[in-house]
Amino acid sequence: MTEEISRRRTFAIISHPDAGKTTLTEKLLLFGGQIQVAGAVKSNKIKKTATSDWMEIEKQRGISVTTSVMEFDYEGYKVNILDTPGHQDFAEDTFRTLTAVDSAIIVVDSAKGVEAQTRKLMNVCRMRKTPVIIFVNKMDREGRDPFDLLDELEEELQIHVRPLSWPINQGQRFKGVYNIYEQNLNLFQSDKQKVTEKVRVDISSSELDEAVGEQDAAKLREDLEMIEGVYPTVEEVVGGGGLYLSGDTAPVFFGSALNNFGVQELLDCFVKIAPYPRPVMAEEREVKPEESKFTGFVFKITANIDPNHRSCIAFCKVCSGKFVRNAPYLHVRNGKTLRFSSPTQFMAQRKETIDEAWPGDIVGLPDNGVFKIGDTLTEGECLHFRGLPSFSPEMFKYIENADPMKTKQLEKGISQLMDEGVAQLFVNQFNGRKIIGTVGQLQFEVIQYRLENEYNAKCRWEPVSLHKACWVSCEPGYETELENFKKRKYQYMAKDREGRDVFLADSGYVLSMAQQDFEHLRFHFTSEF
């Protein structure tokens, strides 16, 4: 068991849109031997799209809309990658994914540096003390000075950094990277399908001058000397010092994912230094991976992975023990015992049935409506894993049926998409109309597109002007105050899918007045309370 746990690496790739997450994922799969030819996110020349962008809408837009899960074996390690959407309209999906991983790789564009979305995601990592590695991408384009970038990373992400590889020039003059971790030189060739050659070079010898030219060699020696002087040593960060594992310092790599450059160095170092599955805090106690009994939680639900079957899949992260096919497990929320005859593991959309899974693995369980995000499975113990909130939405529209003949399809479609956590559904208690709340504008387009293409149902949106939705509860003994509040605000009261009370405030002023007038009520902005 200990052996299986120690060879697992489960991580998420996160960044601002367009920094190159999906391209990096593609190249990691290439090295893992899972795909033969890397596809492209925007495929105009190659007729093959990126493996992890499998939804029709993702192929058309060239962006990731949902997190995809992929696993492969590499040099004796079992690697689970979660490629997340960078676009802020789908940030909730990414936040949830971060609860299921042991470490993260942040991709930064060498020309743009740290962007807004990267900062937000880093905050989530810092809250959970998740170790991060930073990959500075697109070195084959003109960008910023590497030292300036390192300063910006430290300042903006509030984390110490330590380069483990160093670029020799950039843009047109980019010659390659010196790998500090392995102490060898990687020379750059601009080829999307080939892998670069490694040269072992003694820094002080003349071989370096021959390989990269005298001028660049002199600059490289000078830079390396400065790095050794300014930053903590490699041993302190990834060796016995453990600064990386405690989440205090982020190792930095440079490369170009599109040209396959610097990716293998990242992967080689990553599998050696990244953490294997760690203990997880449940409400009741700490759960250690090496315990003999199985526990796990559902962090994501996806409808229609296979358009021919219209099936839902719940993604379950194994926290402890061994998951076995057909064994009886307790579904803690509704107290039922379930057996799974066809649990699967993923390669984006392709999946294969498995007989067992270990801590750190992500298992796909067929779901016919029994699961919600955050559900716990155990061998009989009552445990609750927390930290999978829904946030209070900021954009709202009424959803109306545009084709009365397809009412059933629309109901089913809305229900499954809401289970996925794409958006939230509120039913207005005053007029009974359905309101969809989202974090970003793009989600409305995705919902409409998927209802039409996956469920054959048409919807139309109607405007509703609201400021924010928040869940309302009261302190014990003040139930009459809650009733009074609901009577006074009956036009703005709604119920969510769990039947909880939601207050739809039409302006910030109205909300703050309500908080003042009803001091024994609690207004919650995430669904966990």
Residue whose token pair is 């590497």: 146
Which tokens is 518 given?
A: 């009803």
Could you list the beta-strand ranges (E) of 429-492: 434-438, 459-463, 468-474
Cross-strand partners of 71:
80
Q: How far apart are CA 394 and CA 360, in angstroms?
A: 34
Amino acid (one-letter) located at 85: P
CATH numbers and ranges of domains, the chain? 2-273 (3.40.50.300), 280-378 (3.40.50.300), 395-524 (3.30.70.3280)
Which tokens is 506 given?
A: 């039409």
Per-position DSSP letters for 493-529, written without gaps between them: EEE-TT--EEEEESSHHHHHHHHHH-TTEEEESBS--
Question: How open is the CA angle 443-86-451, to the nearest 5 degrees?
Answer: 25
3-state secondary structure 232-287: CCHHHHHCCCCCCCCCCEEEEEECECCCCECHHHHHHHHHHHCCCCCCEEECCCEE
pLDDT tens, the chain, 529 aa long:
788 888 888 888 887 777 777 778 777 877 776 555 544 444 444 444 454 554 555 555 555 555 677 787 888 888 888 877 655 555 666 777 777 888 888 888 888 888 877 887 787 788 778 889 999 888 878 878 888 888 888 888 888 888 888 888 777 777 777 777 777 777 766 555 555 556 666 666 677 677 777 787 788 888 888 888 888 787 887 776 678 888 788 888 888 887 777 888 888 888 888 888 888 888 888 888 888 899 988 888 876 666 565 667 888 888 888 888 888 998 888 888 988 888 887 664 566 787 888 888 888 888 777 888 788 888 888 888 775 566 677 789 999 998 889 999 999 888 888 877 778 899 998 888 999 988 777 788 888 888 888 888 899 999 888 888 888 988 888 889 889 998 888 888 999 888 888 998 888 899 899 888 888 888 887 766 5
Q: How far apart are CA 397 and CA 205, in angstroms?
A: 67
Amino acid (one-letter) located at 215: Q
CB 466 within 8 A of CB 504: yes
Q: How far apart are CA 461 and CA 396, in angstroms?
A: 10
Residue 493: φ, ψ to 5°:
-95, 140
Amino acid (one-letter) located at 103: S
Amino acid (one-letter) located at 432: G
Q: How far apart are CA 497 and CA 501, in angstroms?
A: 10
CB 135 within 8 A of CB 108: yes
CB 245 within 8 A of CB 131: yes
CB 66 within 8 A of CB 53: no
CB 501 within 8 A of CB 434: no
Q: Which residues contact 127 (CB under 8 A, 6 or more apart)?
A: none
Q: Is 366 helix (H, G, I), strand (E, B) or coil?
A: strand
